[in-house]
């Protein structure tokens, strides 16, 4: 919810733009940090959710590490001042050049997704005369009960090493002189709202932890990935996720061996609610069956509704003090892109709106700006920070 002064400032700006509420970001990060530290847990922020400069500065200053999925993300994290000893590099298809770059910068660890990748890292580390820390990403076959596009921990998914390949992985580790196994890694999906899913994950992690222990590997790190969901329906009520309940599950259900660290890779939960996409109504089309609001933002600025049929709360920002008993109308809220999938919401109930009114699309701090594209040769995405808006 935005106050009248802020809305007036939005009206003075060129649209569309992402608005980042840095105070809310700060509160969210502190809540996560306090909850994690109470159990001695380590958090690596998943850069893929949002790599906007000021957002990253806040996260770095909170003391979190970085979870990267490309060489450019590793580079960005280093340039932004994240400590390389707190950077992990994940991803199912790391190129030789990306691995080489990360090795040269002495990152904390590679989350390795296949036996072949282990051998490639060993070879590249040998050339540099360095030892690479690796955690094996294991596919635990746990259903995250989320959208199938963002489920990653099932047998049918491309991610991680399957149970039946672990023997080969151990053989590769024993044969390699330039690799140090430091841990095991899991990530089963994103936008997980049923916390019981994480209990099932803990049970699999415990099994694997024992399996490696029995084979003489003393693992330093249990990395359980990210995935904690946010409330897209009530951004003003549930603006800070319940990190306490989330971390408590791992504290209660993971069986840590002496000295073992627990690492997390949270993205969405840390940055979603601090971002909103602010857009202007270009045209209103009143039809017989449908009314459309055509915005100046489209799937090129926010891809999630088109790609995953994701729900985001849509609000009309009133240019004047709210009037009681405003007429409410059902609108399909759409963008300007030449695709029918360019739709933010169907039959959205909003006050009767006019050309020039502003619309906010909420909970877009994660996987919003970062997934913007130039399709239709659209402009570069703009953003505005809460402490700079006039």
- Comparing CB distances to ligand LLP, the nearer of 273 and 353 is 273
When binding is defined by CB under 6 A, the residue of 16, 226, 305, 365 that contacts ligand LLP is 226
Report d(CA 20, CA 381) in Å as an integer.
Answer: 13
Taken in order 17, 21, 25, 28, the sign of the CA dihedral is negative
Shorter beta-carbon distance to ligand LLP: residue 183 or 226: 226
State both tokens at 281: 């109504």
With contacts defined by CB under 6 A, how many residues of the chain interact with ligand LLP? 21
Among 49, 118, 205, 221, binds ligand LLP (CB under 6 A): 49
* Contact pick of 58, 82, 367, 383 for ligand LLP (by CB under 6 A): 367
Residues 6+ positions from 140 with CB-CB distance below 8 Å: 153, 160, 186, 188, 201, 204, 205, 208
The answer to whether residues 109 and 133 touch, using CB atoms and an 8 Å cutoff, is yes
| DSSP state at residue 158 | S
Question: Is residue 223 near ligand LLP by the rule CB under 6 A?
Answer: no
The span from the CA of 189 to the CA of 169, in Å, is 23
Tell me whether strands 42-46 and 314-317 are parallel, antiparallel or unpaired: unpaired
Strands 261-264 and 275-286: unpaired
* Residue whose CB is less far from ligand LLP, 266 or 350: 266
Tokens of 255: 């069986």
User: Does the footprint of ligand LLP cover residue 225 (CB under 6 A)?
Assistant: yes
Among 32, 36, 43, 46, binds ligand LLP (CB under 6 A): 46
Q: Does the footprint of ligand LLP cover residue 29 (CB under 6 A)?
A: no
Binding string, residues 127-156; x marks residues near ligand LLP by CB under 6 A: -----------------------x-x----
Phi, psi for residue 112 in degrees, rounded to 5: -95, 135
Q: Which of 354, 359, 357, 356 lies closest to 291, judged by CA?
A: 354
Q: Which of 29, 59, 68, 90 binds ligand LLP (CB under 6 A)?
A: 90
Q: Considering only residues 193 through 212, tell me which ones interact with ligand LLP, judged by CB under 6 A.
A: none
3-class DSSP assignment, residue 152? coil
What track of x and - describes contact with ligand LLP for positions 244 through 273 (by CB under 6 A)?
Answer: ---------------------xxxxx----
- Under the rule (CB under 6 A), what is the footprint of ligand LLP? 46, 49, 67, 90, 150, 152, 187, 190-191, 225-228, 265-269, 304, 308, 367
């Amino acid at each position: 919810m935005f106050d009248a002064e802020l809305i007036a400032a939005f009206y003075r700006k060129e649209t569309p733009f992402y608005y980042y509420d840095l105070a809310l970001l700060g509160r969210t990060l502190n809540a996560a940090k306090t909850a994690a530290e109470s159990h001695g847990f380590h958090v690596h922020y998943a850069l893929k959710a949002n790599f906007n400069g000021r957002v990253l500065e806040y996260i770095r200053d909170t003391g979190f590490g970085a979870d990267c999925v490309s060489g450019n993300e590793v580079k960005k994290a280093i340039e932004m001042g994240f400590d390389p000893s707190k950077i992990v590099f994940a991803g199912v298809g790391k190129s030789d050049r990306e691995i080489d770059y990360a090795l040269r910068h002495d990152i904390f660890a590679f989350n390795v997704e296949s036996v072949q990748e282990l051998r490639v890292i060993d070879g590249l580390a040998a050339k540099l005369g360095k030892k690479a820390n690796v955690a094996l990403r294991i596919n635990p076959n746990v259903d995250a009960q989320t959208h199938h596009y963002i489920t990653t921990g099932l047998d049918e998914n491309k991610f991680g090493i399957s149970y039946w390949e672990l023997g080969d992985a151990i053989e590769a580790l024993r044969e390699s002189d330039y690799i140090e196994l430091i841990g095991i890694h899991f990530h089963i999906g994103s936008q997980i709202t049923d916390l019981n899913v994480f209990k099932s994950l803990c049970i699999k992690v415990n099994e694997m932890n024992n399996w490696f222990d029995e084979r003489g590997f003393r693992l330093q790190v249990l990395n359980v990935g990210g995935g904690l969901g946010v409330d897209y329906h009530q951004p003003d009520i549930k603006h800070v996720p319940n990190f306490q309940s989330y971390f408590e599950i791992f504290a209660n259900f993971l069986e840590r061996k002496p000295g073992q660290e627990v690492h997390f890779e949270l993205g969405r939960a840390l940055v979603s609610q601090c971002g909103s996409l602010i857009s202007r109504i270009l045209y209103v089309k009143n039809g017989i069956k449908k009314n459309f609001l055509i915005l100046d933002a489209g799937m090129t600025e926010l891809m999630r509704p088109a790609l995953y049929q994701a729900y985001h709360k849509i609000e009309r920002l009133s240019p004047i003090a709210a009037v009681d008993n405003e007429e409410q109308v059902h609108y399909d809220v759409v963008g300007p892109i030449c695709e029918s999938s360019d739709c933010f919401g169907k039959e959205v109930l909003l006050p009767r709106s006019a050309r020039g009114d502003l619309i906010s699309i909420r909970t877009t701090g994660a996987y919003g700006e970062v997934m913007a594209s130039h399709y239709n040769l659209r402009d570069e995405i703009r953003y505005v920070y809460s402490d700079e808006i006039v």
